[in-house]
C-alpha cells in the first residue's frame, strides 16, 4: 500500500544553518504519526516545509502519490493537506464562524461547508455556543479548538497539528487530546508535533524522535512509550 505522505531525505536550511538534516518517514491513511523532541529539533520546520511555507534544499515529499517539490502552499491545501500551526494564528477580530469559513475558502460546495461547520460545533461545543463572538475573546485552549476546526474545514486527507497543547491548562490539554483521539477514531489521518511526549505517544500509531534536525529513534507509539531512553529524556523519568 502506498503511503499517503512520504518524506525521503528531507533537508531544510535557514541560510547556511541546516535545520532538518535528511529525515525520512511516512504516514499511512488513517494513522496518527507523531514527531517528538525538544525545542530546536526541527519539528515545526518540518511541518512548515510539508505545507509549502518553506522550500527544502534537498529530498522528496510525496503526498497522495504526487511530488510537492514545486507545488505552492495554496495548492498543497487544495490537495488535502491542512496545517494547524503553532501559535494558532486565528483572526482575533473576526467571529468564530467567519474564522471557520475561512478554512473552507478553496471549497465551493455550500451544503458541505454548512455540514462541516456543524461538525466543528459538535467536536467543539463551546465554539457553537459563541459562534458570533470575536475569536480574540476566546481563551488559549478555545483558540486552539478554533484553529483545529478551521484546519478541518478544508476537508483534509491529512491534518498536521503543531503543538496543539502548548500553553494550555492540564484540563484543556486533556480536552484537546481527547478530540484528537476522537478524530483518529473517525479515520482522520494526523501528523502530530507535540512536546507532551506522553500524550502524543499514547495516541500515535508510530512516532519519531527528532534531535537537532535528525530522526534518532522510530517505532510504534507503544514501543517508544516504553523505551528507556525516551522515558528518561522526554517523560521525566529516571
Query: Which of 102, 126, 152 delimits the end of a domain?
Result: 152
- Does one domain contain both 162 and 236? yes
**Per-residue confidence of the chain (238 residues) as pLDDT tens digits?**
579 999 999 999 999 999 999 999 999 999 999 999 988 899 999 999 999 999 999 999 999 999 998 899 989 999 999 998 887 789 999 999 999 999 999 889 999 999 999 999 999 999 999 999 999 999 988 998 999 999 999 999 999 999 988 888 888 889 889 999 999 999 999 999 998 899 999 999 999 999 999 999 999 999 999 999 999 888 766 5
Q: Are residues 168 and 238 in the same domain?
A: yes
As a whole number of angstroms, the distance between CA 7 and CA 119 comes to 31
- 217 shares its domain with 233: yes
**pLDDT digits over 14-33, tens only?**
999 999 999 999 999 999 99
List of residues 6+ apart from 16 with CB closer than 8 A: none
User: Number of folded domains in the chain?
Assistant: 2
Q: What are phi and psi of 138, to 5 degrees?
A: -80, 155
Residues 175 and 193 in one domain: yes
The whole-model pTM stands at: 0.91
Domain that holds residue 236: 1-80+156-238
pLDDT for 1 equals: 58
pLDDT (tens digit per residue) in 76-93: 999 999 998 887 789 999
* DSSP single-letter state for residue 90: -
Provide the CATH number for the domain around residue 185.
Answer: 3.40.50.300
**Among 102, 132, 152, residue at a domain's last position:** 152
Q: What is the pLDDT of residue 203?
A: 95
- Shared domain for 124 and 75, answered yes or no, is no
Across the chain, the runs of DSSP E, i.e. the strands, are 5-14, 17-27, 32-36, 58-63, 66-67, 81-84, 158-162, 189-193, 206-211, 214-220
Amino acid at each position: 500500500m502506498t503511503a499517503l505522505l512520504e518524506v525521503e531525505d528531507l533537508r531544510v536550511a535557514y541560510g547556511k544553518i541546516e535545520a532538518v538534516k535528511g529525515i525520512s518517514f511516512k504516514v499511512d491513511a488513517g494513522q496518527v504519526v507523531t514527531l517528538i523532541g525538544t525545542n530546536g529539533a526541527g519539528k515545526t520546520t518540518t511541518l512548515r516545509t510539508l505545507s509549502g511555507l518553506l522550500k527544502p534544499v534537498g529530498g522528496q515529499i510525496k503526498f497522495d502519490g504526487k511530488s510537492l517539490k514545486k507545488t505552492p502552499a495554496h495548492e498543497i491545501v487544495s490537495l488535502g493537506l491542512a496545517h494547524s500551526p503553532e501559535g494558532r494564528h486565528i483572526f482575533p477580530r473576526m467571529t468564530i464562524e467567519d474564522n471557520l469559513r475561512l478554512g473552507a475558502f478553496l471549497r465551493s460546495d455550500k451544503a458541505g461547508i454548512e455540514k462541516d461547520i456543524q461538525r466543528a460545533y459538535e467536536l467543539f461545543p463551546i465554539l457553537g455556543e459563541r459562534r458570533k463572538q470575536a475569536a480574540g475573546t476566546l481563551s488559549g485552549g478555545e483558540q486552539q479548538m478554533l484553529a483545529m476546526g478551521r484546519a478541518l474545514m478544508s476537508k483534509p486527507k491529512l491534518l498536521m497539528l503543531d503543538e496543539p497543547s502548548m500553553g494550555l491548562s492540564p484540563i484543556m490539554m486533556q480536552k484537546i487530546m481527547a478530540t484528537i483521539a476522537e478524530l483518529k477514531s473517525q479515520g482522520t489521518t494526523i501528523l502530530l508535533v507535540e512536546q507532551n511526549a506522553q500524550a502524543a505517544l499514547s495516541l500515535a500509531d508510530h512516532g519519531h524522535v527528532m534531535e537537532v534536525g535528525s530522526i534518532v529513534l522510530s517505532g510504534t507509539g507503544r514501543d517508544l512509550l516504553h523505551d528507556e531512553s525516551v522515558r528518561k529524556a522526554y517523560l521525566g523519568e529516571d
